[in-house]
Amino acid sequence: MAILNQQSQMSIPVALSVPATSEGIVRLLEPATNSDIATFRIHRILFCARGPSETAERQCFAFTCSHGDSAENAIFQCHVFRCDIPEAVPKILYCFANTFRRVPKPQRLSNSSISSTELDFTFSVSLDFREDDGKGGFFACPKDKDVFKFRINTEKRLIISVQQAGPHEIKIERCFGLLISPGRNVQHSDMQLIEL
């Protein structure tokens, strides 16, 4: 980031458009004509970072995205940006953070308008907490009704098992995190993110 910031004569002015939801597209626009220079699907962005606030890079930020269908042919690109206004950098990264969190609400469709290619996927999920037994192993935490009983000052492991239960299979390439919440049919806003 520091090297690119010093090479200011090579910079290209762009306008950045960040989508409102996690299914959108980040667009780099040519400022004069508003035409697309490049586009990136938001779910392909793997990492965002900013320059240290006490350096000349405080007005810079970057994101890394992947291109390709599989791990074997994936290409990773890092895009570095410099803002004319340093105070805009945290606001831009805040927009990215909100975009990653926002899942669009499903559109209500009548049964007659459902596509014949639409499939239902069913998953069976189990959650287990394990505690260090002091001998290098881990044992399952005891439960009382719907509550786990934890011992203090012991290392814990969270084990989440996800298995497909329906007739259709879906290939999952990567998982960025897991949203969990107690109960059934919960709202997205009630869920807590566990980053992996």
DSSP designation for 185:
S
8 A C-beta contact, residue 67 and residue 44 = yes
pLDDT of 169-182, one tens digit each?
A: 777 767 777 777 77
Distance (Å, rounded) from C-alpha 29 to C-alpha 14?
6
Distance (Å, rounded) from C-alpha 171 to C-alpha 123?
13
Rounded to the nearest angstrom, the gap between the alpha carbon of residue 69 and the centroid of all alpha carbons in its chain is: 18
DSSP state letters, 90-107: HHHHHHHHHHHHPPPPPP
Distance (Å, rounded) from C-alpha 183 to C-alpha 161?
17
- In one letter, which amino acid is 124? S
Domains and CATH numbers, the chain: 2-101 (2.30.29.30), 120-195 (no CATH)
Lowest mean pLDDT, pick from 21-35, 103-117, 129-143: 103-117
pLDDT of 62-99, one tens digit each?
A: 999 988 777 778 888 888 888 888 888 988 888 888 88
The residues, ordered by sequence, that sit 6+ positions from 10 with a Cβ below 8 Å of its Cβ are 4
pTM of the model: 0.49
